[in-house]
Amino acid sequence: MFPLSLSARRPDDRRVDTIELGEVSVTRVAHVAHYALPSSRFFPGTDRSLWDAQRSWLAPEHWDAVSDGVRVVLQSWVLRSAGRTVLIDTGLPAAPARPGAPSGGRLPEALAAAGIDPASVDVVVCTHLHADHIGGNTRVDGDGERVPMFPRARYLFSRPDIEFFDPRTGGEGPGDLANDFDQSVAPVLRSGQATVWDGSYRIDENLRLDLAPGHTPGLAMLSLASGTDRAVFVGDLLHSPVQVLEPGVSSCFCHDPAEAARTRRRVLERAADQRALVVPAHFGGPGAVEVGRDGARFTIRRWAGFSDPAPLGSS
């Protein structure tokens, strides 16, 4: 089981760690770490007592007990599988797509620190179409046009998210996100480098995508199965390890909180039964966790071996 072989790609840069899961290597590429919203705003319906009860291990990697801020890390995951390089999520855009929109993405610098050339990326998986997961999809070329950041890559988008967020097809997604779509998704669709999938999608013999709806209608979960090792890259199905203990708690960013909670429980049940490593998009600290069962409840069995990206600046 994981981590079978933990090694720092750059010992002088704690932002880059790699573990081996069967025949697949998994590299954490962190861009930005910061304390986001207060816990009660981030997770409506919760109160301070939930966090205080877990203070001994939540603080400071996942929660600031003084400010009550929930800590998130904006990061990508790079998988090397079956001779190809697969990038999961591309973070925030470098510049805002609309006034007041989040920005400050550092994907090119983060990939360079990991020794990854954009031209070497074969597949880009967008777990969903929120700005902090698609902002590095494109760049501005010499003619001032938006083009794919990864010139050789096949970008994978789920059909439910495309239909929900695309303003030109009458999507029901929030109108203020239309600029994010136009900047980070539409140029990829125009380029011919996109594959729009539904239901499930097999990337290779080790990697498969499935829908995990709730946070967005088409949230994509990537399952890894290689040798005896298992992992699930769940995007924003979880924002904090508190949700392992309380899977009914959804974030304020979930478009359908009730469905997100149902999906979360289903995925955690499967992960616990398979002893799969759960890899969310935004966990700080060790970054990923193996969950177990205690009757009807879930427990944290052990953490992965990634180092905390503490040296990163805030957005």
Is 313 among the domain residues? no
Q: What percent of the chain has pLDDT over 70?
A: 91
pLDDT at 313 over 80: no
In the prediction, which pLDDT does 181 show?
Answer: 93
pLDDT at 206 over 70: yes
In the prediction, which pLDDT does 170 show?
Answer: 67
- Structure confidence by residue, pLDDT tens digits, 243-256: 999 999 999 999 99
Is 94 among the domain residues? yes
- Would you call 70 helix, strand, or coil by DSSP? strand
In the prediction, which pLDDT does 59 show?
Answer: 94
Is residue 46 left, alpha or beta, with left meaning phi > 0 and alpha meaning psi from -120 to 50? beta
What token pair was written down for 17?
A: 């760690």
In the prediction, which pLDDT does 310 show?
Answer: 56
- CATH label of the domain that carries residue 73: 3.60.15.10
Euclidean distance between CA atoms 7 and 27, whole angstroms: 10
Euclidean distance between CA atoms 55 and 172, whole angstroms: 39
Average pLDDT, the chain: 90
Is 1 among the domain residues? no
Torsion angle in degrees (nearest 10) through CA of 91, 107, 11, 56 = -20
In the prediction, which pLDDT does 175 show?
Answer: 67
In the prediction, which pLDDT does 269 show?
Answer: 97
Split into its structural domains, the chain has a count of 1
pLDDT at 15 over 60: no
Preceding peptide of 60 cis, ω within 30°:
yes
In the prediction, which pLDDT does 173 show?
Answer: 63
In the prediction, which pLDDT does 172 show?
Answer: 65
φ/ψ (deg, to 5) at 182? -65, -35
Euclidean distance between CA atoms 224 and 100, whole angstroms: 37
In the prediction, which pLDDT does 96 show?
Answer: 74
Is 315 among the domain residues? no
Q: Are 21 and 4 in contact (CB under 8 A)?
A: yes
φ/ψ (deg, to 5) at 98? -155, 160
Euclidean distance between CA atoms 92 and 251, whole angstroms: 19
- Structure confidence by residue, pLDDT tens digits, 123-165: 999 999 999 999 999 999 999 999 999 999 999 999 999 999 9
In the prediction, which pLDDT does 239 show?
Answer: 97
For residue 15, the enclosing domain spans 6-303
Euclidean distance between CA atoms 300 and 296, whole angstroms: 14
Q: Are 19 and 279 in contact (CB under 8 A)?
A: no
pLDDT at 52 over 60: yes
Torsion angle in degrees (nearest 10) through CA of 7, 77, 230, 301 = 70
Q: Are 165 and 185 in contact (CB under 8 A)?
A: yes
DSSP assignment of 183-244: HHTHHHHHHT-EEEE-SEEE-SSSEEEEE--SSSTT-EEEEEEETTEEEEEEETT-SSTHHH
Is 179 among the domain residues? yes
Is 219 among the domain residues? yes
Residue 146's beta-bridge partner residues? Answer: 140
Is 64 among the domain residues? yes
Is 82 among the domain residues? yes
pTM of the full structure: 0.92
- Looking only at the bridges linking them, the beta strands covering 123-125 and 84-88 are parallel
What token pair was written down for 256?
A: 């359908």
Beta carbons within 8 Å of 116's beta carbon, 6+ residues apart:
29, 78, 85
The overall longest dimension of the chain from CA atoms, in Å, is 60
